[in-house]
Amino acid sequence: MPARTALIAAAALLAASESPTQFTSFRHDATYLLEGNWQSCRDPETRQYNERVFDQVQLGIEVHLGPGDDFAIFRGIQEEHREHRSPENLLQPPRAKAGRQRWELDQLIFEVAPAGGSRFDCRSYWITLQKK
């Protein structure tokens, strides 16, 4: 049984080292600039949902996925974090509702839909970003 205990301990360490955020890209449709599954999980230490930022250099925008069910698109690319509730966020309101959320901007369409998941401490969404 000690070998089994060591195996369980190694698996627990491996699971703990996994990133609390995950974006799995899918390219089913060439019209999408960004398409895939976004999962924002609670950080084990801070208990806060995590976020990921994609720089869309060709469009000069930042796309913020998370934390949790919060999303943002900003004009320009910056190193420092920007507040999602600021008027600079092109997505108003910045929070995804219970069902599908669609934001139509000047030249972009950003859609978010709940995608379910296997972890109770994560929020999972199917996201797409496309030019109009």
Q: Please, are residues 28 and 127 in contact by the beta-carbon 8 Å criterion?
A: no
pLDDT digits (tens, 9 = 90+) for 102-116: 999 989 999 999 987
Predicted confidence at residue 99, as pLDDT, reads 76
Position 9 in a domain: no
pLDDT digits (tens, 9 = 90+) for 25-83: 877 788 899 999 999 999 889 999 999 999 999 899 999 999 989 999 999 999 999 99
What range defines the domain where residue 78 resides?
Answer: 20-131
Whole-prediction pTM:
0.78
Position 31 in a domain: yes
Helices (H) and strands (E) in the chain, counts: 1, 8
Position 11 in a domain: no
Whole-angstrom distance, CA of residue 24 vs CA of residue 35? 8
Tally of domains within the chain: 1
